Amino acid sequence: MQKTQPLTRASIFAQAWPIMLGQASVPLVGIVDAAVVGRTGDAAALAGVALGATIISMVFWSFGFLRMGMTGLTAQAEGSGDEREVAALLLRSLAIGAAIGFVLVLLQWPIGELAFALLAGGEEVSREAGGYVGARFFGAPAALCVFAINGWLLGLGRTRAALLLQVVMNIANIALDIGFVWGLGMGARGVGLGTAGAEWIALATGLVVATQIAGRSPFAIFRDLGASMVFDRAALARLFAVNRDLMIRTIALLFLFAWFANAGARLGAVTLAANHVLLQFVSVAAFVLDAFAFTAESRIGKAIGANSPQQFRRAIRLAGEFSLLGGVLLSLVFWLGGSAAIHAITTDPETRAIARDFLFFAALIPVLGMPSWLLDGIFIGATAGRALRNAAVISTLSYLALDFALRPHGNWGVWIAFTASYILRAAALGAHLPSLMHRISKRAPLAEAKPAE
C-alpha cells in the first residue's frame, strides 16, 4: 500500500484532481446519453431515458453504501496500519455486491412494474423507459461490484486508479450508446444496453487494477486470509451496521430525486425532458465538487484510524476551501455558458425554451449545494451513518412538504423546492457536526462504527 501524503493544500489537490476528472466524466456520459437521443428530435425517447435513468439510479444507488461505506472503513483500516483488514474489506464488498446484483437481475420485472406504477410518465414515455430499464438490469452485478472497487480505491487514496476505472467505463459507455442508438436505431433501449455493457467492461478493468494495487488477485487474497477472516462475523456486523444507515440515507435522497423527476413528468413530457437537461448541469456540479468530498472521506477516515483530531480538523478546513472555490466557479460557468450547452444537448425548440427559462436554478445549485456535498464527505469518512441517515430523512420530508405547497406555481415551484432541498440537507447535517467534532476531539469512538449488538 502507498504511504499517505502529508495533509497540505497541494496534497489535497493532488488527490482530488483525478477524482474531479473521473467524476466530471460521469455526468458527461449522462449528457451524451441525452444528446444521442435528444438529437434524434424524439422528445418521448429523451423523456424515457430521463424516467428510466431515475428508476435505475433509485434501484442501483440504494446500494451505494458499497461505495460510501467502503471508503470510510478502508481509510480507517489503512490509517491504523491494518493491511490484512484492508484486503479483506475488498473481498467482503465484492461478495456482497455480486450477490445483491444477481438478485436484482432475478427481480427486475417486479421492481420495474412497481417503479412505473409509482412514477407518472404517460404510455409512450413509459414504453421507452421500460426498454432502457430492462437493458440496464443486466449490468446490475457489475455495477455494484464497481461501486465496491471504487470505494476501496478512494479509501486508499488511489484516486488515479479510480480515474482510470471511470474513464474506461465512460469511453465504453459513449461508444456503445452511439453504436446502439445511431447505428442500430434502438432508441432508449440502446442507451441502456450501452451502459450495461460498459459496466461489465469496468468491472473487468477494476479487478485488474485491484490486483495490481494489492499485489495479488482477489482469489489469492482469499487463499491467504482464509474464509474465517474474510467472513468474520464481527467484521461483517460492523460493515452492515455502517451500511444499514447509509442505505436508508441513500434511499431517502434517491426518493427525493425520483420525486423531482416525477414532478416534471406531471407537467408533461417536454417539461420532463427540459428538467432532465438541466439536471445534467446539477450532476456536473455534484460530481466535480464530490472530488473534494471524496478526498475529505479518505483523509478524515485516515485521521480517525490514526487517532489524530488535528488532522481531522485540518482535512475539513482544506477540503472546505477548495469546495467553496469550485462551487463559485461552476455557478459562473453554468450561468454564462448554459444556453449554449442546452442547444448542444437537444434540438427540440420547446425543450430548449423551457430549459433556458429555468437555467437560473441550475446555475445557483453549485454554490448552495456545496456545503451538503462536503458535509456528506465528512460524515462518510467518519462512518457516522446515523447522522447521515437522520439528515437525509429530515431534508427529504421537508422537501416533499415544500413541493406540495408550491404545486400551484408549476415548474417554478418544482425548481424552488428542489433547490431548497440542498439548503435543508446542509442544515440538517450541520446540526450534527458539533457533536461529531467533540467526539473526535475527545478521541472517543463513533457509535455508528461499532458492530450491532
Residue 158: helix, strand or coil by DSSP?
coil
Rounded Cα gap, residues 46 and 53, in angstroms: 11
pLDDT of 452 strictly over 60: no
Burial class (CB in 10 A: 0-12, 13-18, 19+), 110: exposed
More confident residue, 84 or 113: 84
pLDDT band at 293 (very low <50, low <70, confident <90, very high): confident
Burial class (CB in 10 A: 0-12, 13-18, 19+), 67: buried
User: Can you give the pLDDT at residue 145?
Assistant: 94
> In Å, what is the CA distance from 144 to each residue of 124, 188, 267, 332, 380?
30, 22, 33, 35, 18
Residue 308: helix, strand or coil by DSSP?
coil
Average pLDDT of span 120-125 = 62
**Helix or strand run (H / E) with residue 453:** none
DSSP state, residue 384: -
Burial class (CB in 10 A: 0-12, 13-18, 19+), 225: middle
pLDDT of 1 strictly over 70: no
Residue 100: helix, strand or coil by DSSP?
helix
User: Can you give the pLDDT at residue 394?
Assistant: 93
pLDDT of 341 strictly over 80: yes
How many alpha carbons lie under 13 Å from residue 38 in its C-beta half-sphere? 27
**Per-residue pLDDT tens over the stretch 216-249:** 888 888 888 888 888 887 777 777 777 788 888 8
More confident residue, 121 or 364: 364
How confident is the prediction for the chain on average, in pLDDT? 83
User: Can you give the pLDDT at residue 449?
Assistant: 42
**Per-residue pLDDT tens over the stretch 129-155:** 778 888 889 999 999 999 999 889 988
**Per-residue pLDDT tens over the stretch 53-66:** 778 877 887 787 78
How many alpha carbons lie under 13 Å from residue 42 in its C-beta half-sphere? 18
pLDDT band at 31 (very low <50, low <70, confident <90, very high): low
**Per-residue pLDDT tens over the stretch 67-84:** 887 888 888 888 777 888
Rounded to 10 deg, the angle between the 349-357 and 269-305 helix axes is 50
**Per-residue pLDDT tens over the stretch 209-222:** 999 998 888 888 88
| pTM of the entire predicted model | 0.73
CA nearest to 381, candidates 434, 311, 321, 328: 311
Contacts of residue 212, Cβ cutoff 8 Å, sequence gap at least 6: none
**Per-residue pLDDT tens over the stretch 252-292:** 887 888 788 778 877 887 888 888 889 888 888 887 888 88
**CB contact at 8 A, 321 and 49:** no
Backbone phi and psi for residue 216, each to the nearest 5 degrees, phi listed first:
-165, 160
pLDDT band at 451 (very low <50, low <70, confident <90, very high): very low
pLDDT band at 404 (very low <50, low <70, confident <90, very high): very high
